[in-house]
């Protein structure tokens, strides 16, 4: 019996109205053999966390271009912990300054991808670092 596909939630938190990057990464995940759940635009941290739990995902991938990453990443990670789902890893990317990455990782983000990162690099990272949850 083959191992089940990884389930990745691709989410666009906050007021950011640009989703081209999220759609590109979602399509790339799908083409790499992952199962993808895409939330659509303007999701609250609560909506993202509730979807992650309801869909029993293996990871949450956030796409943020609005500059609210220092607020939204930690809020989502904290809410997952509060709802006993802290074992769901959170990673993501977007327009995130290099100087902000250490703080996001300290808050619990597993990885941050910056503009210009290839989809192949992201897919390889997911394969190497995200595993089906028990």
CA gap 17, 65 in Å, rounded:
9
The pLDDT value recorded for residue 6 is 97
The pLDDT value recorded for residue 129 is 98
The pLDDT value recorded for residue 2 is 57
Please name the fold of domain 7-129: Rossmann fold (3.40.50)
Backbone Cα Rg of the chain: 13
The pLDDT value recorded for residue 1 is 46
Grouped pLDDT means (10 residues each) for the chain, 134 residues: 84 89 96 97 97 98 95 98 98 96 98 97 98 90
CA gap 42, 32 in Å, rounded:
26
* Every domain of the chain and the residues it spans: 7-129
């Amino acid at each position: 019996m083959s191992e089940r596909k990884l389930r990745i939630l691709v989410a666009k938190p906050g007021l950011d109205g640009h989703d081209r990057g999220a759609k590109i990464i979602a399509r790339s995940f799908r083409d790499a053999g992952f199962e993808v759940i895409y939330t659509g635009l303007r999701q609250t941290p609560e909506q993202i966390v509730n979807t992650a739990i309801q869909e029993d995902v293996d990871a949450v991938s956030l796409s943020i271009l609005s500059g609210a990453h220092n607020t939204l990443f930690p809020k989502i990670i904290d809410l997952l912990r509060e709802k006993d789902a802290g074992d769901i890893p959170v990673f993501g990317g977007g327009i995130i300054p290099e100087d902000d990455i250490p703080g996001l990782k300290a808050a619990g983000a597993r990885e941050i991808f910056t503009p210009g990162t290839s989809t192949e690099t992201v897919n390889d990272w997911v394969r190497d670092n995200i595993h089906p949850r028990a």
